[in-house]
Chains A and B, each alone.
Chain A
């Protein structure tokens, strides 16, 4: 079965650079979530989108922005990268209208390392 696809799997950047992470949800899923998981930490919710509109906002820094496109894929744009941004970034998708289809299905994550 198709799963949530995230790209790239690994990304290495330097401080003050920018990065773009991509997420392709499971087909027919209308909701996308982004989570950040630091080393040894539990995942922290960043932001979510439903039908291409932002639906909820968590602990996402102002340096980050995200959007969901017409094909439902989502991109997380990160600017002025800091050492503390080094983390595993998960994307998850679900169909909001179908509670029996919860929970969110997770991608394998993008490991971002800031040098």
Chain B
């Protein structure tokens, strides 16, 4: 069974700083997807970034980038030039790639607070 671990329950940084959220996972699958979702106080679930396991290049979306280490089963999220609107819960999620189902396996989340 797959598991996702986020070891940082809460983090706090000053606005404009860079912050890295950690995520590790356990799987025997070779093909899978990894995601970071953001859940602001409004509690919407918003996709931040995705990574296909077969791609060696780390995904980047504007100020958000990942450090994907497949051998180490690590998938950290880096937020550059953090903004007050980045304050949210961040969930790391795993999805295996097959035909049966695309269920997301979630980490416990990291609460990120951006201070002015």
- A-to-B contact residues, CB < 8 Å: 31, 33, 35, 37, 42-45, 48, 50, 55-56, 58, 88, 90, 92, 94, 96, 99, 102-106, 108-109, 111
Interface size in chain B (residues, C-beta < 8 A): 23
List residues of chain A with CB within 8 A of the CB of B25.
none
**Knowing A43-B45, A43-B91, A106-B44 touch, does A48 contact B108 (C-beta < 8 A)?**
no
Closest residue of A by beta carbon distance from B109? A42
Query: Please, how many angstroms separate the alpha-carbon atoms of A95 and B44 in the complex?
Result: 21
Q: Is there an interface contact between A55 and B101, defined as CB atoms closer than 8 Å?
A: yes
Dominant secondary structure at the B interface:
loop
Residues of B within 8 A of A (CB): 33, 35, 42-47, 50, 91, 93, 95, 97, 99-104, 106-109
Q: Across the two chains, which residue of chain A brings its CB closest to B98?
A: A99
